[in-house]
Amino acid sequence: MADASFDAVVIGGGQQGLVVSNYLAMNGMTVGLFEKNNEVGGAACSTPVPVAGFIGNPHAEMLGTWNCPFNLDFKLHEKGLNFIFPEVMASMAFTNEKSLVFYQATKWDKETGVITPNMDIIMKNINEVARISPKDAEKLAKLVEKQYWDFGAALFLDLFNPPPLPGEPDPIEMLLNDPESLIDPRYPFMTEYEIIRDLFESPELQTYCMAWNLYNGVYADDVAPITMAILWLSTILGTAGLCCAEGGSHNVAHALQRALSEQGGKFFVEADVDQVLVKNGKACGIRLANGTQIEAKKLVVDSSGAEEIINRHLRDVSIDPKIRRKINNLRHDRSQFFWGHIAFHELPKYKSASWNPDVGKARWLLLGDPDPEYINRDYRYQQQHIRPGHFPAKIYPTASTETLWDPSYGPPGKHLGHVGMGGGPPVSWLSEREWMQVKKEAGDLIAAEWQKYAPNMTRDNIIAINVGTPYDHFQKNPNWVDGDVQPPAVISSQWGKNRPIPELAQYQVPGIENFYLASGHHNVGLIGCSGYNCYKRIAQHLGLKKPWEGRMV
């Protein structure tokens, strides 16, 4: 006999599990959510880093969660979740003391979910590019006449829908067949470097695009999925809406948790799920590591990583051996980041502020030499072969000052910078001892690099440094295989209809009824898409509520 019983059992209390749990509870189901850590939220967490008195987000930092439809469906703004959209969305300070500064160009109505672009600010961003390259600005102006909006609509549909079933339209593929589209038919077969060179000519803009996408797990020599290969375009025009959750990213999880509790859902922490129970080809419950058995009367949803689902939770279930082989052959070698914080006294004073005084106000600020050839030719190899005492000759860190838009991140009069480097070696490539040394060196290296662009960022100005490594990320969440925080690798063979593998792309395991997958491995996991899209398939199969009917997604 089961120790407890629910209509729906959800494994994993990260954003995906919380999102799908809320939708199931919305249908009147009894829902039990089981999380193995001591709190829900997963990557949506905030901790006192780099030293007591400051609040930092060690994982989910640049939030796209705001435009995910679950905000509207559960009115999360009424449950303590407030998004802050800084005036300056993104910028890059260069060694030549020029800069690119891009301003927020969208308005989001949290009550209705309507997103409205501000064409005046979009043109302001294009004019910022014109100061460096009139030809690139002319190209951007042409794109926003029509082509960019077609791409933006297709991207939105792609993110917030399951992969198309046979016979259904694919919004991205439709663009490939449109001769007037932004998407050149060659782009799916071109490297990131080739696409950027095809679109732009200035080394500054090329470098910005390549450096920005390093943080999406895309290297310059990658042939990336189109949705990711040109995602930087939304930041140049200011329509990406990069923001932060007031008080820390953990407030995303807290709001979803409140919404679930208000609907009668139950959640259990320190509840490590060991197995999914399957009887006569149907999922019927779970067994915890401590032996507790939970009945699922209608369905089980697993939001764990694909490897844990297949190799642990379904280890005694008969499934196609090809699925196990493909899952164990997934690549995890792109999204290993150095990601952390530097606390300091005085705000940075950037040399490139003479070019644009707003450069230091950006939600996402990059630093680097405008050298696209180096990024394409050398950076990837050097970054992935970091060892103690051996870092790339040139790095492209981020150095955004969190306290500019949310003073609660630090004590009065003090400041917190979010810093990082995109790319890095997988965890298994170094020993634990090596990672400990690399961790210290990475923090010191980023601090020294920051000082080159803002001379007042001396050691006397710095209070504390804590930069997490891929090893640290893996210790926090083993689903981030080999430290891959956006698993699996962002390559076409593991994206869209193939993500994480074709057999599992529709959020189910063939041969197991009443069992669904809401893993972050199915989409851009950090913004809640997987839980939302998984529920779309569940609603289709079980005849549940479809709040998206009558709206775009």
Q: Of 471, 478, 524, which Cα lies nearest the Cα of 272?
A: 478
Tell me: the pLDDT tens digits for 17-36? 999 999 999 999 999 999 99
pLDDT of residue 2: 83
Residues 6+ apart with CB under 8 A from 364: 62, 89, 90, 91, 212, 235, 242, 398, 400
Instruction: Specify the 3-state DSSP secondary structure of 223.
Output: coil
Residue 527 clears pLDDT 70, i.e. is over it: no
pLDDT of residue 61: 73
Q: For residue 378, give the amino acid letter.
A: D
What percentage of the chain reaches a pLDDT higher than 90? 87
Tell me: the pLDDT tens digits for 380-403? 999 999 999 999 999 999 999 999
CA distance readout (Å), 239 to 118, 144, 233, 418, 528? 9, 11, 9, 22, 19
Residue 525 clears pLDDT 60, i.e. is over it: no
User: In the structure, what pLDDT confidence band is assigned to residue 526 with cuts at 50, 70 and 90?
Assistant: low
Residue 514 clears pLDDT 70, i.e. is over it: yes
94-114: average pLDDT: 95
Q: Of 19, 64, 61, 26, which Cα lies nearest the Cα of 44?
A: 61
What percentage of the chain reaches a pLDDT higher than 70? 99
What does the DSSP 8-state code read for residue 76? G
Report the relative pairing of strands 515-517 and 293-302 from DSSP bridges: parallel
Bond into 500 cis (ω within 30): yes
- Between the ranges 172-176, 293-297, 422-426, where is the mean pLDDT highest? 293-297
pLDDT of residue 524: 65
The DSSP secondary structure of 375-417, one letter per residue, reads IIIIIHHHHHT-BTTB--SS--EEEEEGGGT-GGGSSTT-EEE
pLDDT of residue 5: 98
Tell me: the pLDDT tens digits for 420-442? 999 999 999 999 999 999 999 99
User: In the structure, what pLDDT confidence band is assigned to residue 58 with cuts at 50, 70 and 90?
Assistant: confident
Token representation of residue 536: 């779309």
Give the residue, 431 or 477, on which the prediction is more confident.
431
Question: How far apart are alpha carbons 79 and 90 in whole angstroms?
Answer: 28
pLDDT of residue 422: 92
pLDDT of residue 121: 98
**CB-based contact 62:319 (threshold 8 Å):** no
pLDDT of residue 478: 81
Instruction: Specify the 3-state DSSP secondary structure of 285.
Output: strand
351-365: average pLDDT: 97
Question: How far apart are alpha carbons 538 and 508 in whole angstroms?
Answer: 10
Residue 62 clears pLDDT 70, i.e. is over it: no
Question: How far apart are alpha carbons 495 and 118 in whole angstroms?
Answer: 31
Residue 183 clears pLDDT 70, i.e. is over it: yes
Tell me: the pLDDT tens digits for 446-473? 999 999 999 999 999 999 999 999 999 9
Residue 267 clears pLDDT 80, i.e. is over it: yes
Report the relative pairing of strands 4-11 and 293-302 from DSSP bridges: parallel
pLDDT of residue 64: 73
Report the relative pairing of strands 364-368 and 88-94 from DSSP bridges: parallel
Angle at 288 between CA 282 and CA 294, to 5 degrees: 50
213 phi and psi, to 5 degrees? -75, -10
Q: For residue 225, give the amino acid letter.
A: P
Q: Give the largest CA-CA distance in the chain.
A: 72
Q: Residue written as tokens 């479809």?
A: 546
pLDDT of residue 138: 97
327-351: average pLDDT: 96
Q: Of 481, 443, 183, which Cα lies nearest the Cα of 338?
A: 443
Residue 552 clears pLDDT 90, i.e. is over it: no
The reported pTM is 0.96
